[in-house]
Chain A
Amino acid sequence: MFIKEYFGGIFKAIKSLLTGMKLTGYYFTHLNKIVTEEYPDNRATLKMPERFRGEVIMPHDENNEHTCTGCQACELACPNGTIKIITKQEVQADGKKKKRIDAFVYHLDMCTMCNLCIDACPSDAIIMGQNFEHSQYERKYMKKVLNKPGSRLKDGVE
């Protein structure tokens, strides 16, 4: 009885080991199953999903106009203090003074891509961009101004 158990155990053990080796052997001989993504080489074809949260960007149309009214809802929604909106008073064509953004300051180094600012924005002025290659040599480059120089608020957005 003991002998039977002893050798039975050995055979079971060897069988289980061979099962594992069969699997690794299978993958060794089936190189088409390799799943590696060769990242820096596939930059041209790599496409991030539409909803991917890479960074906050402010889209501008062809007339260099954006839709940010400077309402600071995003600034309030941000849990980390990533966004700082600096406003100015701008004299309109009809002579009235109105609040417009001077600089939409975005600290990429503090951002956790939580999407709360985009959710809070009432005029869809900011969206999440797909770029994810953010590394810089100095911290000062992580501070970005999202509205382009000379840009203005699109007409009709309040």
Chain B
Amino acid sequence: MLFEPDHYNEEGEFVVNMGPQHPSTHGVLRLKVWLDGETIKKVEPHLGYIHRSIEKMTESLSYRQFIYVTSRMDYLSAHINNQVCALVVEKALQVEVPARAQAIRVILAELTRISSHLLWFASIGLDLGGVTPFFYAFREREAINSLMDENCGARLTQNFMVPGGIMKDVLPNFQQRVKEVLKQFKDNYHEYDEILTGNVIFQNRLKGVGILTKEDAIAFGCTGPTARASGLNCDIRKLYPYDGYEKLQFDEITSTGGDCWARYEVRMAEMKQSVKIIEQLIDNIPEGEIVGNTKKVIKLPKGEFYQRVETARGELGVYIVSDGGTTPYRCKYRSPNFANLSAIPHIARGHKIGDLISIMATIDLIIPDIDR
């Protein structure tokens, strides 16, 4: 059976399906891999196993309702996904968002980014065979999730944004709780370095593997930490600031390596930058309104609107065509994972099977965001 021709192509290469059910694809992604022994000759991603037609659904939802669906795209940065939808409506209506709402939005978005990177850190350890880092990272992630639970009402798919601001004001102990969470994170950060970053096996698994050049990163449309590790300045928070990011001091982390190790280092450093952003804001949350002046039934003016944000994985854009009604005429999401995925077949060629796992782990794919 193994030696029947359909398991081989003409050159005698071994064709293996990784996925749709596979422990390291983090979802239902199917990678068709052509192997020569252990070496990868070709990778072909097959999509669509979790396609839920979110873009089409959006066409029948009102501008208040369509925010919640986007939580289900990149479920790890659900808050930032909601933010982009709120922002595009505000941009179209030209509504001023109150300063208090902006500050809370940014704090929660950066907490989401930390929690998303923590999950990535956990799963990279898991993918490369070390189970223990998973639990260390989840301990801190749990603290962030509890904070979200208390203030937003849900741990993962918060849906805390409304066009013009946020749904509810945060609790009175919000500042103190955020500081507690940050302190726990900062106190335990050195453990991540000890268990994984410094580990020689881990470094050897990542260094020099899956090199994505700057030109390729641009050509494939990669964004986020994946592209920044190749030396591309693409942080939307710096380039097209939104929600008051222009007033904040933080560094855009870039690296020139382009390999898995550079991507790893960029993400680890980004967590620290997020902490820095939150620390600037947490003591200076302005008082005031939390929702801007929006009507109960929102009608967007006729036209086309585009807004982008920086999620934990890259640039998320939402493009809305409005015909002046209460629902979008057409909605298109430019998701970061879809573009980042397209780089995998290119950079995985010539590496070993184990390297494909490290490449997928460091690019940090969220499958529902690819298919939408």
Contact = CB atoms under 8 A, between A and B. Distances in A.
B167 A119 contact: yes
A105 B215 CA distance: 57
Contacts of A48: 149
A48 B195 CA distance: 33
Nearest to A114: B68
Interface residues of A, number: 26
A153 interface: no
A123 interface: no
Given A16-B200, A22-B194, A77-B65, A119 B151 contact: no
A115 B159 contact: yes
Interface in B38-79: 61-62, 64-66, 68-69
Interface of B: 61-62, 64-66, 68-69, 132, 139, 142, 146, 149-154, 157, 159, 162, 167-168, 171, 191, 194-196, 198-201
B200 A79 contact: no
Contact of B151 (A16, A19, A51): A51
A23 B151 contact: no
A139 interface: no
Nearest to B155: A52
B149 A52 contact: yes
B358 to A, nearest CB: 18
Contacts, number: 68
A44 to B, nearest CB: 19
Contacts of A17: 199-201
A35 B139 contact: yes
Contacts of B199: 16-17, 19-20
Given A51-B153, A52-B153, A20 B142 contact: no
A68 to B, nearest CB: 18
Contact of A79 (B69, B132, B153): B69
B195 A116 contact: no
Given A51-B168, A77-B65, A128 B200 contact: no
Contacts of B139: 35
Interface of A: 12-13, 16-17, 19-20, 22-24, 35, 48-53, 77-79, 112-116, 119, 128
A157 to B, nearest CB: 19
A117 to B, nearest CB: 11
A128 B69 CA distance: 19
A52 B146 CA distance: 10
Most A C-beta atoms less than 10 A away, residue of B61, B154, B157, B162: B154
Contacts of B150: 49-51
B20 to A, nearest CB: 24
B261 to A, nearest CB: 14
Given A24-B132, A52-B153, A53-B153, A19 B194 contact: yes
Nearest to B296: A120
Given A13-B200, A49-B149, A20 B194 contact: yes
A77 B64 contact: yes
A119 B153 CA distance: 13
B153 A116 contact: no
Contacts of B69: 79
8 contacts: A16-B198, A22-B194, A53-B153, A77-B65, A79-B65, A113-B154, A116-B65, A128-B153
Contact of A115 (B61, B167, B196): B167
A115 B153 contact: yes
Contacts of B201: 17
B270 to A, nearest CB: 23
CB-CB nearest 7 A-B residue pairs: A79-B65, A13-B200, A114-B68, A51-B153, A49-B150, A53-B153, A114-B159
B65 A51 contact: no
B129 to A, nearest CB: 13
Given A48-B149, A78-B65, A79-B65, 17 more contacts: A13-B200, A19-B198, A20-B199, A23-B191, A24-B132, A24-B195, A49-B150, A49-B153, A51-B149, A51-B152, A53-B153, A77-B65, A79-B62, A79-B69, A112-B68, A115-B159, A115-B167
